[in-house]
């Protein structure tokens, strides 16, 4: 009883509105097209993910708030809040997650879950994207791939992973200019080299990953993370390849097989995606926006033109494909989980669009290549 009362008092203390000096012309507001919903419209909040990873993602978000102060206002559902509501929401939510875990040590999971859901409806306002009532959010997945690389250009590894140029003319070079005209070579921008343009394209789609390379005969790994673009338009090459009759479906396998057999088509196909991504070497897992290390199964990417300040809490209710095994032949299972907006992507557009980060390994790759589902997306803020 004491713990519940203490948590309530702490949650109440987080609800005090902070004052923001809006006279500073550098202060920017964030407008999120969403509408508030009633408590009875909030779904069951059965989280199917790893709670320790959720707490890890929360801790990383709290560190990001400390590095970069929250300024301006958040406007959502016809309401205006100090942007510090993001920080107070994360802090308050963390208390309830810890409380849920503590409860499960001594009481039934059913009782603890019901108390948790009651608290989530009591202490938080809930929102969903302001789209047609019949429409759903669209979810895809991404992961951190592992690539075979070299530090110097070789006959087998010709295609560069580059740092972001400071020279604007170099920075805005197109994909084909960089790939096939060596526009960035000799500029001291090279980080690593990959085996072919499609592997580089996949790295660009994911926005980060791991490279494995040899250094003086010793196998090493490095994390590489997104560090900007050439400001050219991004388009997936798959739809173009299918429209030309080059492939029958949009699978990664079909695209890779065609490109491997038809290098004379590379320039034509990659010209459809002039966008090019620049990278940096990082000590931790690939970084999302605001230098936040991404957490598998807990970080998500949303449209930075809307969610330009990261850290808004969300709950996802959709389904995901399952890797077929001898024991598991179910094609899809529910995916219901708390995620934090900590990243963005060139193809992520609109308030009802989210890319879910799944980390490393075969299952993460499978989800990244096969998850494309409709579902429900919710946001919540501390009252």
Do residues 164 and 276 share a domain?
Answer: yes
- Read off the DSSP letter of residue 187: S
Mean pLDDT value across the chain = 91
Whether residue 268 is found in the same domain as residue 152: yes
> Both 135 and 155 in a single domain?
no
Task: Kindly state whether residue 153 falls inside one of the protein's structural domains.
Answer: yes
| H-helix or E-strand spanning residue 121 | helix 109-123
Looking at the fold, whether 11 and 134 belong to one and the same domain comes out as yes
**In a shared domain, residues 311 and 297:** yes
CB burial string 98-107: b at 16+ within 10 A, e below: ebbeebeeee
- Whether residue 112 is contained in a domain is answered as yes
Tokens of 187: 């500029």
Neighbours of 31 (CB within 10 A): 13
Q: In this structure, are 121 and 151 located in the same domain? A: no
Whether residue 156 is predicted with pLDDT greater than 80 in this model: the reply is yes
Residue 15 has pLDDT above 70, yes or no: no
State the DSSP code for 287: B
What is the pairing mode between strands 34-37 and 124-129?
antiparallel
Looking at 231, 256, 282, the residue that finishes a domain is 282
* Domain final residue, candidates 224, 253, 282: 282
Domain CATH code at residue 329: 2.40.40.10
Overall residue count recorded for the chain in this entry: 383
287 domain-assigned: no
Give the orientation angle of helix 197-206 with respect to helix 252-261, to 10 degrees: 150
pLDDT at 285: 80
Q: Does a structural domain hold residue 250?
A: yes
Q: What CA–CA distance (Å, rounded) separates 167 from 189?
A: 11
Are 271 and 325 members of one domain? no
CATH number of the domain enclosing 255: 2.40.240.50
Structural domains of the chain, count: 2
The per-residue pLDDT for 104 is 96
Q: How many CA atoms lie within 13 A of 335 on its CB side?
A: 24
- Are 128 and 28 part of one and the same domain? yes
In terms of residue numbers, what domain contains 375? 2-141+293-382
Place of tokens 């429209």: 243
pLDDT tens-digit map of 281-319: 998 888 889 989 999 999 999 999 999 999 999 999 999
For tokens 């250094």, the residue is: 215
Given 256, 282, 308, the domain boundary residue is: 282
Q: What is the pLDDT of residues 177-219, one digit of tens each?
A: 999 999 999 999 999 999 999 999 999 988 889 999 999 999 9
pTM for the model stands at 0.76
Same domain, 191 and 264: yes
Let me know whether 45 and 137 are in one domain. yes
Question: Are residues 276 and 175 both part of a single domain?
Answer: yes
Same-domain status, 164 and 76 = no
More confident residue, 275 or 225: 275
End-to-end CA distance of the chain, in Å? 22
């Amino acid at each position: 009883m004491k713990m519940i009362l203490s948590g309530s008092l702490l949650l109440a203390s987080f609800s005090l509105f902070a004052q923001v000096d809006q006279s500073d012309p550098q202060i920017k507001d964030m407008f999120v097209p969403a509408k508030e919903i009633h408590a009875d419209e909030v779904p069951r909040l059965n989280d199917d993910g790893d709670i320790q990873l959720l707490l890890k993602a929360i801790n990383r978000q709290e560190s990001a708030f400390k590095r970069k102060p929250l300024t301006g206002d958040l406007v959502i559902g016809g309401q205006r809040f100090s942007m510090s509501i993001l920080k107070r929401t994360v802090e308050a939510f963390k208390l309830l997650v810890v409380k849920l875990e503590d409860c499960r040590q001594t009481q039934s999971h059913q009782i603890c879950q019901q108390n948790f859901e009651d608290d989530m409806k009591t202490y938080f306002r809930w929102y969903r994207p302001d789209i047609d009532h019949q429409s759903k959010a669209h979810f895809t997945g991404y992961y951190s791939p592992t690539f075979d690389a070299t530090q110097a250009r070789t006959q087998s590894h010709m295609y560069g992973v580059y740092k972001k140029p400071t020279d604007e003319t170099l920075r805005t070079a197109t994909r084909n200019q960089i790939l096939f005209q060596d526009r960035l070579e000799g500029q001291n921008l090279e980080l690593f080299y990959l085996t072919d343009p499609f592997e580089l394209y996949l790295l660009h789609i994911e926005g980060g990953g791991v490279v494995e390379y040899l250094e003086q005969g010793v196998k090493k790994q490095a994390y590489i993370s997104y560090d900007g673009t050439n400001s050219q338009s991004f388009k997936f090459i798959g739809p173009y390849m299918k429209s030309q009759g080059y492939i029958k479906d949009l699978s990664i396998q079909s695209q890779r097989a065609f490109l491997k057999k038809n290098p004379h088509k590379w320039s034509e196909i990659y010209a459809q995606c002039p966008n090019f991504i620049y990278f940096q070497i990082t000590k931790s897992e690939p970084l999302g926006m605001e230098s936040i290390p991404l957490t598998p199964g807990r970080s998500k990417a949303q449209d930075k033109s809307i969610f330009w300040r990261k850290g808004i809490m969300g709950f996802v209710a959709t389904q995901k494909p399952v890797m077929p095994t001898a024991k598991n032949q179910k094609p899809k299972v529910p995916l219901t989980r708390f995620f934090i907006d900590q990243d963005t992507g060139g193809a992520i557009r609109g308030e009802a669009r989210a890319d879910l980060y799944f980390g490393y390994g075969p299952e993460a790759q499978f989800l990244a290549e096969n998850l494309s589902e409709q579902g429900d997306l919710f946001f919540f803020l501390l009252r």
